[in-house]
Amino acid sequence: MLILRFRLDPEIWLSPLMILGTQWYILFNVIAGTTALSVELRLAAQNFAVRRLLWWRRVILPAIFPAYVTGAVTAAGGSWNASIVAEIVQWGDTTLTATGIGAYIARTTAAGDGARIALGIAVLCLYVLAFNRLLWRRLYNLAAERLRLD
């Protein structure tokens, strides 16, 4: 409604719909990672007087990084799905459309064009696979190998 009222650019202002839909994956995974921090580790850090910046750099951030990466991977998958819904928004008789794979899939689905729906889904799958291989797998391996606290 605000996008229509203030004539905002849908290319920019439809993005918060995806962000609002996916931020929860990261938040809840980071909370879980923080609560999984062992009492022994907290007590050891307290006994060694680990404070402020050192506490964050050497204890908290390495402890929650694996949970953050898991949440980010899940959020990225959710945002790919949310893009299909968020890139075309209708309010009354007005339709706002952003350019993107989500809008393409939504338009071809509304038109009932099976071949183009399959093409859009195939391209989306290729994007997801590329991101998983090039970014998320590397971050996940880093979190699993170098930042384990067990």
Query: pTM of the full predicted structure?
Result: 0.75
Residues of the chain with pLDDT under 70: 147-150
pLDDT at 11: 83
pLDDT at 57: 87
pLDDT at 149: 62
pLDDT at 150: 61
* DSSP-based three-state secondary structure for 59: helix
**pLDDT of 34-63, one tens digit each?**
998 888 888 888 899 888 899 888 888 888
pLDDT at 122: 96
E-only strand ranges, the chain: 88-91, 94-97
